[in-house]
Amino acid sequence: RDALLGGEREHEEEQQERTKLQNATAATNWRQAVYLNIYDLETQSDDPQAISRWNSYLYYTGLGLYHSGVEVYDKEYAFGGSALPSTGVFVVEPRNAPCAKFRQQVFMGYTELAPDALHEFVMGDVAAGFAGNSYNLLKRNCNHFADALCQMLTGRAAPVWVNRLAWLGTQMKCVLPTGFDDPFGAAADAAASTSSATAAIGASNERADACHHDDDSRRLLECAPAESRSDRHRDTQLNLAIPTAETAAAAGGSGGGFGVGVASERSVDDAKESRTR
């Protein structure tokens, strides 16, 4: 019986090892095609297809204004800029990028990553290196991201003509307007400058209000009649100099309280008569 049970356990262990080996082999046998989807950019104007028409001519010279994304496992990964430090990598339906017109698709090769592993890799490790506020039209745009991802997945770089115009821009940056290649950075700087200016104006207004308040108080004091000011000053001195009967009684104690009280009342009467005169 023990021999039979021991044999069954060995058989189960062998079966488990075989299953693990089969699963590992299956995980390494994924082979999925990777495509680079290329688009003509659309403008937010009365003629959104203007760039598309220009690209129809520039395409034959190896130039053009393009957007690109990487399609794999029925998902398209792309990169866009923003003023936020979070990732600018996003996922769209293949060949349906926003604000762009699909032009063509280029086969880049195959990847052996499983669907879940690939998605986790792109939206985790890769996306962490492409923050939205790191976007730059000439040095770090959507085509740079697509080229980097294609090389990671297939070992092949994207066609040079897709991003050649950006490279030319880096060679002629000295003649381009300041901040042209970093629109989101320029917008953030402008917002920060506006915030600083608003804070400075608020502080200046607070100081001006304080000065006006001091001036008003000084002006009211200067405008008060001289007699009124002297009366207030005299009343203040009398109030400080004349003790009350209760105060005198408290100071005199039980033995001499009557004498002190009479003197205090007499001092009060004399002071009142002097003030009346």
Residues with catalytic roles: 67, 142
> Is 79 in contact with 146 (CB distance < 8 Å)?
yes
C-alpha span between 229 and 25 (Å, rounded): 102
C-alpha span between 67 and 138 (Å, rounded): 13
> Is 142 in contact with 36 (CB distance < 8 Å)?
no
Q: Rg of the Cα trace of the chain? A: 43
Provide the 3-class DSSP secondary structure of residue 199.
helix
Task: Give me 229's structure tokens.
Answer: 């000011």
C-alpha span between 69 and 97 (Å, rounded): 8
